[in-house]
Amino acid sequence: MKTVLITGGSRGIGKCIAENLARDGYNVVLNYNKSEKQAKQIQKDLKEQGILIEIYKADVSKREEVKKMVKFSNSKFGNVDILINNAGIAKLEMFNDITDEEWNEMLSTNLNSVFYCTQEVLPGMIHNKNGCIINISSIWGLVGASCEVAYSVSKAGINGMTKALAKELGPSNIRVNSIAPGVIDTEMNNNIDNAIKEEIKNETPLGRIGRPIDIYRCVKWLIEDEFTTGQIISPNGGYVI
Ligand code: NAP
């Protein structure tokens, strides 16, 4: 049985990916930070379906916490086979209003976390000569979003890391890809008002906002595929082409 470590699995896209991969038969270690109640509920609901997962609290913007998380995961299931770097935060703000603290928090949560988690799982993957790393980026990392400069930078950074790492790790049979979703219906977008959501729908050729399950399907494909690496795949309904 292959082992998946997913960051930010307590809510939204990460929750959907974690639950579905657990149902598909993977060993799942679900990371959360603030949403302990939600993480425990996911574990309980799956247990009632006869599926056991591990949950682990860690702030993935902190190297020491990531180290302990990977140690925990290794002790439960052996080396991580599939790392899904999903944890992230977003903030709408004019560029000139961004403080140093906000900039650093965005970059450390969305980008440094990918650096830390990837470095910590890599020795195990290199040892196995096998691995799959999936980074959850965003369309805004491809085309930039007004009033989301720090977020866009963090996601563009993920895309750069994905391409460079894929080249470095290919010879070790480790694949690295990004998924750059369009707007997905989760709590992250609670602050977008309905009129704007309607506008986005109208500008999307497939005529709807994305759902977490759309991202899970892409993850599943990237896990099973054996010849795709260094790619940024963007499930966005055609909003960005
Ligand atoms: P969400 O509903 O707000 O959930 C965010 C998740 O990230 C939560 O599980 C949260 O855990 C976790 N998280 C945040 N900071 C963390 C930290 N320091 N350490 C560990 N976990 C942390 O967001 P979402 O929409 O599912 O987004 C998931 C990913 O998809 C993000 O990387 C986001 O940028 C990306 N994305 C989202 C959209 C969209 O439209 N929703 C579009 C493109 C890309 P806790 O609550 O436990 O702290």
* 151 in active site: yes
Three-state SS for 195-212 is: HHHHHHHHCCCCCCCECH
Domain boundaries in the chain? 3-233
Place of tokens 């935060």: 89
Tens-level pLDDT at each residue, the chain (241 residues): 999 999 999 999 999 999 999 999 999 999 999 999 999 999 999 999 999 999 999 999 999 999 999 999 999 999 999 999 999 999 999 999 999 999 999 999 999 999 999 999 999 999 999 999 999 999 999 999 999 999 999 999 999 999 999 999 999 999 999 999 999 999 999 988 899 999 999 999 999 999 999 999 999 999 999 999 999 999 999 999 9
Output the CA 171–ligand 1 centroid distance in Å.
31
Which residue's CA is the closest to the ligand 1 atom numbered 36? 138
Mutate to test the pocket of ligand 1, among 86, 120, 137, 200 (most ligand atoms within 8 A of CB): 86
Fold classification of 3-233 is Rossmann fold (3.40.50)
Angle of helix 12-23 relative to helix 212-224, nearest 10 degrees, comes to 50
Q: Which atom of ligand 1 is nearest to the CA of 9?
A: 9
Query: Cβ atoms within 10 A of the Cβ of 118, count?
Result: 22
What is the radius of gyration, based on Cα positions, of the chain?
A: 17
User: Annotated catalytic residue: which of 26, 151, 216, 239?
Assistant: 151
